[in-house]
Amino acid sequence: MNETIITARMHKDGTVVEVLADGSEKPFPKQPVRSMTEEEIYEKALSDPDAQPLTDTDLKRMRRISRVKIIRRALQLTQEEFAARYHIPLGTLRDWEQGRSEPDQTAQAYLKVIAANPEAIYQALQFTPH
């Protein structure tokens, strides 16, 4: 099997270029896209085995995972470790993760900051002024 690898980059303006071995860039030729009707779009989507629509049964099996749980798992911490590390009461954390309550606006902001820079927040919470 013959394999060709092409490295591409998208610029801020949305143009796509091929990145050559020497680091220079070459614009990709713009190929016209044939417009499709809504029916054609739907048929093409259904013919893609990797993009099948979810059934009602699929939707019933799915459950939403709270943002705080996603953050905690990404940091590979237990509930106890996360609560202790970021000074969040364990019961509050469990309530958020299990959907019994939602973080208020201040807590949501705190969770965003933790997600953005968890180590800096941990270090800041370790600081004790003399």
- Give pLDDT tens digits for 83-126: 999 999 999 999 999 999 999 999 999 999 999 999 999 999 99
Separation of alpha carbons 63 and 32, rounded Å:
41
Residue 15 has pLDDT above 90, yes or no: no
Separation of alpha carbons 106 and 56, rounded Å:
36
pLDDT given for residue 13 in this prediction: 87
* Residue 92 CA, distance from chain mean position: 24
pLDDT given for residue 99 in this prediction: 92
pLDDT (mean) for 67-80: 97
Architecture in CATH of 67-126? Orthogonal Bundle (1.10)
Q: How far is CA 89 from CA 7, 103, 105, 121, in A?
A: 48, 12, 17, 16
Separation of alpha carbons 27 and 17, rounded Å:
4
Q: Residue 114's closest CA among 93, 94, 99, 129?
A: 93
The pLDDT mean for the chain works out to 90
Separation of alpha carbons 123 and 91, rounded Å:
23
The answer, as to whether pTM is greater than 0.95, is: no
